[in-house]
Amino acid sequence: MKRALVVVAGALALPAPAWAHATLTSAVPDVQGRVDALPRAAVLSFNERLAAAATRIEVRSAAGRPVSGTTRVRGGVASTPLRGLRRGGYTVRWRALGADGHVTSGVFTFGYRAAAPQPTEAYGAVGPGLSDDLARWGYFAAFALLLGGLGFRLLVVRGEAAAAYERRFYRVVGLGAVAALQLGLLVFLLRADDALQLPFARFLYGDVSPFAEETRFGKAFVVMSLGYTVVAALVFVAWLLERTAFLWAAFLLGLALLSGLSLSGHSAAASGSSAVSELVDWIHVSAACLWLGGVVQLALCVWPASPELRRVAFLRFSQLAMVLVAVLVAAGLYLSVLRLPSIDALWSEDYGRVLLVKLALVGAALSWGGFHHTFIRPRLLAGDTTSRGRTLLAEGATGMAVLLAAAVLVNSAPPSEPSTTTPAAGARSPR
Amino acid sequence: MSPPPEHVHWLFATGFLFLGLCLVAESVVGRDVWRRRRWRAYLWPGLVLALGILIMPLSVFYTASTLHMLAHWSWAQVAMLMGAAQLGLVHGRLRNRLWELTVPVALVVTGAGLLVHEQRDWLYSRAAFLHHLTGWVLILGALFPLAGVMRPSWRVPAFGYAATMVLLAVLLFADRDVAPIFGHLSPLAGTPHR
């Protein structure tokens, strides 16, 4: 016991600092940097001493040609000579064995007399794959539940609402808020994993900072994670204090933060992108969330829990939905024209084919909307509120299928995407 | 651009110390006396929620490893859940006392996260030692609020929970390596970085 106490006291008293496992602190050439003078070596500095045994630096050109030599380790610095560099983008993959025996890994890019490729376009990066698509689908659905639910509550239900409806409303919106945060993290990590290409155990020690700090996608993830935490807190306070003013704040902030998707997607980076395309994309995504989230609210909250609200909510929402769908379709057409180089790209390119599937699903969802407008609306106007909500569920399910197609579309490269940087070969999507 | 990690740890240590002292005061005078002023009932649950929200930036700004990021993310989430559930109970929006279980759950998840994200042995370094110690303190400390759920009238769990939070604050204050009176045991841990 005494000995244990001495050890504990020693652990707290002996001087000399240490960080966690080996972490990259600086690099030459710089992470995501551009160099115009021919670099003779890649030098990576770490926060702690490295063991030479399994520390490796590998540098490859965009075509996958190795340009690095043997890795040398001195203290916390690992280096490798570079030879045969030509103008273009390069990928640096590193693995560092800390003196404690733990291996950390990372990847970054630099450009020699050219802009550096995105880390997600590093040589050897793959994807996005099925898991990315499914995660992004859930991410979109979460925004629909959250923002569409808030919009429905504030613009359609308005004012006081029955307690049964309120309970369901907060469950659905709360689920959306939680899912938006968790799936945002999942989408980010899957994207980083696509580039790092590490087994799971080593991915846990993968350096994801180049993706969080050097990509639009990563920056959007950071801002949206923090912003939607505040949105979730506002929804919670609204529930706690029963004050809809907080819902307004959450709704407006959430809609503004949704622009993170547009500012980090095709509308910001692909061919023909501009401030206008980013704005139109944000309008497109916002309208889709409000429409689908509204349908979900009707099907899951109003219909089963609050029959007295059915008539007024349906009639108000049908007016709002017409505007939303018109905006949605107009913005979608503009973006399609912008991203497709020609009409035949619709069937000759993967991106175009996915877009066709999405358009077909949108058509199916609109057909359900037309059915409701034609058959359910007159009955409600006549005071008959006994209709069952199954068709609303069908419209909601079709809308969710649209979101799946949208997720695949977002993860696919548009056919005319230009090379503003020098993307590394082997970094292309399998689609 | 990011503040040094020790500043962040000390900031949160201050928050948990305040939380612990609130709980000590509540356990000494009893819940009824503590809640005579309405705002005091909201004090520590609100503080836990705020601490959870404040941990979120750590998870997205300190991304040197996935594990580090996931650990901070999970701590933020469970702290927010715990604070929100307690606020719901205090305000009367939640009536089922099983929501009290969010406190032991949050402590166990946080403790497990600390143990998983520290891959080194107990005696490798001071930070490693404190991570292990903090992890086990939180996991074992979760027994107090758990007992409190089962026997609300019993004062011992309240004292134990309060003591756990004060101890957590002390451990967080000691957690970083730059203070000259602290250090680590293994020469493998490298040279001072500052």
pLDDT tens per residue, range A225-268: 999 999 999 999 999 999 999 999 999 999 999 999 999 877 66
**B153 to chain A, minimum CA–CA distance in Å?**
26
Are B183 and A15 an interchain contact pair (Cβ–Cβ within 8 Å)? Answer: yes
Are A192 and B127 an interchain contact pair (Cβ–Cβ within 8 Å)? Answer: no
Decide which of A268 and A351 is more confident.
Answer: A351
Are A236 and B84 an interchain contact pair (Cβ–Cβ within 8 Å)? Answer: yes
pLDDT attached to residue A89: 94
pLDDT attached to residue A257: 97
A34: which strand partners?
A111
User: What ipTM does the predicted assembly reach?
Assistant: 0.90
Name the pLDDT band for A421 (thresholds 50, 70, 90): very low
Are A208 and B65 an interchain contact pair (Cβ–Cβ within 8 Å)? Answer: yes
Helix axes A163-196, A216-241, angle to 10 degrees: 160
| Angstrom distance (rounded) from CA A357 to CA A359 | 5
pLDDT attached to residue B85: 97
3-state secondary structure of A328: helix
Are A10 and B73 an interchain contact pair (Cβ–Cβ within 8 Å)? Answer: no
pLDDT at A54 over 60: yes
Helix axes A275-297, A163-196, angle to 10 degrees: 140
pTM of the model: 0.87
Are A23 and B125 an interchain contact pair (Cβ–Cβ within 8 Å)? Answer: no
Token pair, residue A117, equals 């490729």
Contacts of A17 in chain B (CB under 8 A): 177-178, 183-184, 192-194
| Angstrom distance (rounded) from CA B72 to CA B9 | 12
* Closest alpha carbon to A193 in B133, B32, B190, B65: B65
* Contacts with A, B 79-138, CB within 8 Å: 80, 84, 87-88, 91, 93, 119-120, 123-127, 129
Helix axes B38-61, A216-241, angle to 10 degrees: 170
* Cα four-point dihedral sign A299, A302, A307, A313: negative
**B119 to chain A, minimum CA–CA distance in Å?**
8
Specify whether the CB–CB gap between A238 and A247 falls below 8 A.
yes
Which CATH number among 1.25.40, 1.10.260, 2.40.70, 1.10.3470 corresponds to the domain B5-177?
1.25.40
Q: How many CB atoms lie within 10 A of CB A304?
A: 13
Per mean pLDDT, which of A113-117, A196-200, A251-255, B131-135 is the most reliable? A251-255
pLDDT tens, position by position, A357-400? 999 999 999 999 899 889 888 888 888 877 777 888 999 999 99
Helix axes B66-91, B102-117, angle to 10 degrees: 170
| Angstrom distance (rounded) from CA B120 to CA B128 | 6
pLDDT tens, position by position, A16-43? 333 456 788 899 999 989 999 999 999 9
Instruction: Please state whether A162 falls in left (phi above 0), alpha (psi between -120 and 50) or beta.
Output: beta
- CB contact A189 to B (< 8 Å): yes
**B166 to chain A, minimum CA–CA distance in Å?**
18
Are A229 and B56 an interchain contact pair (Cβ–Cβ within 8 Å)? Answer: yes
Is domain A17-121 annotated with CATH 2.60.40.1220? yes
Picking from B53, B77, B177, the nearest residue to A233 by CB comes out as B53
Residue A374 to residues A321, A324, A378, A390: CA-CA distances in angstroms?
14, 18, 7, 16
Q: What are the residues whose beta carbons fall under 8 Å from the beta carbon of A40, sequence distance 6 or more?
A: A81, A82
pLDDT at B184 over 70: no
